[in-house]
Every structure is written in structure tokens, then in C-alpha cells.
Amino acid sequence: MGSCIILRNSILIAAVGFIALSGIAVLNGLVMLTFIKQLLAQGQEKLDAIYEGALTRLRPVAMTALVASLGFVPMALATGTGAEVQRPIATVVIGGLISATLLTLFVLPALYALFGRKRLEEVVHLELIRRAAE
């Protein structure tokens, strides 16, 4: 009974880590896709824009993940009071940031190449609609 309560609390604590992780992962993806769309709006070909966008945003995405991960290392290594709360959050965030960063840098550009807007006119048209709505 007691081990079920402890396990249940660890799962809830790890869920808090997932919330923090999802915010960072979504932000990194938005940074990359926004830059790729800007390159498309400037007239670059789709694959060239994806390649240049992924290379140009490599450093900001990697630095965001690295800084956040390093911030959680003391929590992951904690052994004192409260370590049973800190370690699950840190483990989830550090592991998730590593995988989310790899997905953002490699899988997201590949998916955009397959399923993203194909023509510059579509991107420009959507940008004009967005600006008109503001």
C-alpha cells in the first residue's frame, strides 16, 4: 500500500516535469519553423530554406536545451531533504530535453519537407491574412 502511494506521487511529480519540458520543446520547434517560413517568404526554395533554417537555428535550439538541462543537474544529483521530489522532475526534464532537441533538429525539418507548405504563395497568403487580422 505504501509503495503504491510513493509510486503514485512520483508519477504526479514527473508529470510536472513533462509540463516544463513541453513548453521548452514547443518553443524550440516554433523558433525553427518560424525561421524556415521567413526564408520561404524571402523567396528561397523549400528544401534550401529548410536546410538553412535548421543550420541557422541549431545553436539557439541546442543552447536552450543545454541551459535548461544543466539547470536541472543539481536536482538530479540531489541526495538531501526533498530529493525524492526533485529527482523525478529532473530526470524527466533532462531526458526529455535530449530527445526533444534531437527531434527538433532532425525530425521536424524532415517532416516539414514532407508535409509543409509547398509554394511560396501559400506562405505569403497566410502571412497577409495574419497581419490583416491584427
The mean pLDDT of 23-44, rounded to a whole number, is 90
pLDDT tens per residue across span 71-81: 889 988 888 88
CB 53 within 8 A of CB 64: no
For the chain, domains (ranges, CATH) are 2-133 (1.20.1640.10)
pTM of the model: 0.72
* CA separation for the pair 59, 29 (Å, rounded): 13
| pLDDT recorded at residue 56 | 93
H or E stretch covering 73: helix 58-76
The DSSP secondary-structure symbol of 34 reads H
Mean pLDDT of the chain: 82
More confident residue, 60 or 82: 60
